[in-house]
Amino acid sequence: SLMVLGQGVGQLALNSGADDISSIVIEENVLRSYGIKSEEKARKFLQESGFVPVRRDLLYNYLDLEGEAVRRSA
């Protein structure tokens, strides 16, 4: 988890093939305690690492910003 390992190791993990840097996070304050102060900062971290951030649910369905399911293009 990014929250346990930190941003540097998180970037290394993503670049080594990890497809997820965290499971569903219930409490927003968990992210804040590890330096991710906003969703915008989390998105920036992923983009700077060369990835496209997406939201997903527990079944790996992509979600829009309001949490509604969206279709993936094939």
Over the stretch 1-49, which tens digit does the pLDDT of each residue have? Answer: 555 667 788 788 778 877 766 655 545 555 566 566 677 877 888 888 8
- Measuring CA to CA, how many Å separate 48 from each of 12, 27, 57, 67? 12, 24, 23, 24
- Measuring CA to CA, how many Å separate 12 from each of 8, 16, 74? 6, 6, 28
For the chain, give every domain's residue range: 2-63
Alpha helical stretches, state H, 1-74? 2-5, 7-15, 28-32, 39-48
Binned at pLDDT 50, 70 and 90, residue 57 comes out as confident
Q: How many CB atoms lie within 10 A of CB 26?
A: 7
